[in-house]
Amino acid sequence: MQPLFIDNLIYFIDLLGTVVFAFSGVLVAGRLKMDIIGVLVLAAVTSIGGGTIRDLLIGATPVFWIKDSHYLLTIALTAVAGMGIARVQHRFPWYLLPLLDAVGLALFVVIGAQKALSYGTSGIIAVIMGCITGVAGGVVRDILAGEIPMVLRKEVYVTACLLSGSIYVILLDVGLGHVASMFVSMLSLLCVRVPAIFLHLSLPTFHLGKDD
């Protein structure tokens, strides 16, 4: 049994990640001039899509947002607040969405890995589940928005998730506490992803030869 403090901290981080990713969904919906249903759908799939896939894969059913309606309430409130903010601030800097996405990744990768470990998975599977928790919602969001998902672009994206999840699992294995492991893991992702955003860093691309 984990201490109550750890459980509450994990829950808070999960809800914070829900808010961050939901707001990123609102930004995409606003850019595409969607109606309120479209806003809610993009906010929801971005924030709970990855966690839903994770829970189904590790057998954590019913999935988290069905057992706890606070997640849906958080998404709805974030969508309403986001639309209100967008009406006041009509234009946002180009880096806002990638930064929100980076923060959401940092929060959700560690949450996904932690939950997978709590269901008895190996460390490697926990890292994969952390990546799925972080990126899958954004993939669905981008597909619905008619964009190439970030995970398929040249950006340093999944690499940062793999690094963060691996650091979390390794630190737990060597005996570091849950809280320290979580924050070091989240910080490591931000230290990789944020500079990549502003410096436009990318991974080498795979190319078979010259185009015809």
Task: Answer yes or no: are the C-beta atoms of 74 and 15 closer than 8 Å.
Answer: yes
Are 148 and 109 in contact by the 8 Å Cβ rule? The answer is: no
Asked if 19 contacts 33 with a C-beta cutoff of 8 angstroms, the reply is no
d(CA 115, CA 38) in angstroms, rounded, equals: 30
Confidence of residue 209 (pLDDT cuts 50, 70, 90): low
Residue-wise pLDDT for 135-156, tens only, equals 999 999 999 999 888 777 777 8
Return the residue matching tokens 């078979």.
Answer: 208
pTM of the model: 0.90
Q: Are 133 and 109 in contact (CB under 8 A)?
A: yes
Question: d(Cα 194, Cα 201) in Å, to the nearest integer?
Answer: 10
Sequence-distant (≥ 6) Cβ neighbours of residue 57 within 8 angstroms:
129, 132
Amino acid identity at 192: V
- Show me where the domains of the chain are located: 4-199
Over the stretch 56-88, which tens digit does the pLDDT of each residue have?
999 999 999 999 999 999 999 999 999 998 888
Q: Using CA atoms, how far apart are residues 133 and 136, in angstroms rounded to an integer? A: 6
